[in-house]
Amino acid sequence: MVKVISFALLSIATAISAVSALDPHGQFKRLGACPTLGCVFPPDSAEFVAGARFDVRVEVHAENESKPNTDYSLTIEKLSGHGKNNKNGGKKAVDFTKFSKVKPNAQEAWDFTYTKDAAAYWKVQDGDKNAATPAHVASTAWRHVQIKEPGTYKVVLKYNNGKKTEAVWTVNAVTKRKAKNVILFIGDGMTTAMITAARLISKPHTNGKYTKHMHMDQFPVLGHVMTHSLDSLITDSANSASAYNTGHKTSAGALGVYPDSSVSPLDDPKQELLAELLRRRSKKNGGAGGVGIVTTAEVQDATPAAVYAHIRNRDEKGYIVDQMIHGANPVVADVILGGGGKWFHSKTGGKSLNGTDYYDAYSKEKGYKVVHDRDALLKYKGKDPLLGVFHAGNMDVWMDRNVYKGNLKKAGTDPTGNGASALNQPNLDEMVIKGLEVLDKRHRKEGWFMMAEAASVDKMMHPLDYDRALADLLEMDKAIGKTKEWLKRQKLDKDTLILATADHGHSFDVYGSVDTQYFNSFSDSEQIEKKGSIGTYENSGWPSYEDKDVYDANPADAPHGINKDGTLPVTDPVGVHSLQDVPIFASGPGSELFAGIQDNTEIFHKISEVLGLGEQN
């Protein structure tokens, strides 16, 4: 009798009391990190690398028929830290323009609406626009601000005849570089429970002990990351990846910015990205380094876009493609590999910005070698920057790329817009190794940073396709192993920090095994009897299966199972992200920094410390 593991979605309903003590605006708010009518961005508790560039915006709000008071001021004073001067001579706070030496933009004005509570929200969703509360705004922005002197600073917005909004900022000192290279693996949505399950279905065991382990298991340092966003308990992939790339919190859907209340998704106050800092790193700390982006999602998707984009809405993928080469301070990554071809062209199925041929633009303007299938990728031996786009949308998952190849035969998935199927897509490890080869050729002296994402751990966990999700998790673990081997061959293992983590979790766990013969002996209507096949505690056993070269958790796409009612609103068609901390594994120089419990913004600051980013007086 064969037993295989049964994976279950654990749904937890949590009642939070005394919400007002945590967030006076609860689930619905006028604007993230702005509980009063006066807003300062960056907000209270923001943390910077010395010399990092950022925008500052203040907003003064008035609701309903009121008008915002346009007579407001912004000051700053240094509270603590070292330096030959505090910019204000140790006296009272000074005008922010005088301190920053940045001329602000002309004062702006606009209107917006928001919903104050769930009742108003659902009324608006049902078409009652009058349930929304109107707000009116006066605003000023300072662009490209830098604070090069480490310490603690207090910023005060004075408005409405005596009201104040205060924000305390911390500026961290630049440290000496600890590693030449950093590679950050992100299993999107990956949790400890998923890693445990992936280990269980992929590694041999004897009498309750594993005889082989995953590559992540062998990393010497393990920590945990808290994933909360700027204004919500549960994060999405955009603001969580943005925290890793900026060291700042932001709101759901936002990339490299603090979302303001303006209409445009392009004018929000920006936060300098890790890749941008690396591109302008001082010669003293190694000079400008290389940047690589590898993903099995669209290269414009939230996690990869967080490496190079500044935009409020992650869905503005046409703008995101453009920002890589035409942004205000474009990253122009050395390596870009993944899916998302429809955002590069305007042929059939194409959605490029203004109908632009971005394959042509990347090639002619920035010298990219452009490839579109596995064979062309593996054949490339050059030194030019590499753009590889292998699917019109997200790349197909490992199980379909390698086992159920018939599923690849979908018209219109070819990345060039020729209407064909994308039948020859590379695996994650192949993209990572080719990307490392290009980075090494272009930046062996200066070093490099690579982000490599197993995107469909998350994308398959949403529809509860656990087989495909865990297969993609194992694909990332294989890529980690191949990376370690490659670094050792190139004699770069002593100079490279490897990190493996997630951006958020999903409500997944394993609670037992199932007797498949007994399970399948009952019809779908016999739900109670089917549940009797699930073994828990002493009856859970260990899965037994024939050891083959290629094994999948559940090769059969069986439609028959146990019905489990959900607890989400009926408007949510798939599972959503969860609250739990995610693991981070670290190996190499600087790995000790990542032990213990840490906020997701700390990952950026620790990588910055390892790479010696920033500039200070």
Which residues are identified as catalytic?
A: 237
Q: Are 72 and 38 in contact (CB under 8 A)?
A: yes
Within 13 Å and on the Cβ side, how many CA atoms surround 148?
A: 8
Q: Are 249 and 230 in contact (CB under 8 A)?
A: yes
Q: Please give the angle made by the CA atoms of 364, 370 and 375, to the nearest 5 degrees.
A: 160
| DSSP-based three-state secondary structure for 105 | coil
- DSSP-derived pairing of the beta strands 290-298 and 335-339: parallel
Measure the CA–CA gap between 455 and 439, rounded to whole angstroms.
22
Q: Are 415 and 394 in contact (CB under 8 A)?
A: no
Measure the CA–CA gap between 29 and 368, rounded to whole angstroms.
44
Q: Is 136 annotated as a binding residue?
A: no
Q: Is 458 annotated as a binding residue?
A: yes
How far, in whole angstroms, is CA 596 from its chain's centroid? 21
Q: Is 413 annotated as a binding residue?
A: no
Can you tell me which residue has the tokens 């998302």? Answer: 340
Q: Is 303 annotated as a binding residue?
A: yes
- DSSP-derived pairing of the beta strands 151-159 and 582-587: unpaired
The secondary element (H helix, E strand) that includes residue 274 is helix 274-279
Give me the residues paired with residue 506 across strands.
577
Residue 373 dihedral angles phi and psi, to the nearest 5°? -150, 170
Measure the CA–CA gap between 32 and 177, rounded to whole angstroms.
35
Measure the CA–CA gap between 293 and 273, rounded to whole angstroms.
14
Residue 451 dihedral angles phi and psi, to the nearest 5°? -110, 125
Measure the CA–CA gap between 583 and 221, rounded to whole angstroms.
10
Measure the CA–CA gap between 519 and 532, rounded to whole angstroms.
8
Q: Are 114 and 133 in contact (CB under 8 A)?
A: yes
Q: Is 557 annotated as a binding residue?
A: no
Measure the CA–CA gap between 177 and 369, rounded to whole angstroms.
31
Q: Is 504 annotated as a binding residue?
A: yes
Nearest to 475, CA basis, from 558, 376, 552, 387: 552
For 120, which DSSP code?
Answer: H
Residues in binding site for Zn(2+): 188, 458, 462, 503-504, 577
Residues in binding site: 188, 301, 303, 453, 458, 462, 503-504, 577
Residues in binding site for Mg(2+): 188, 301, 303, 453
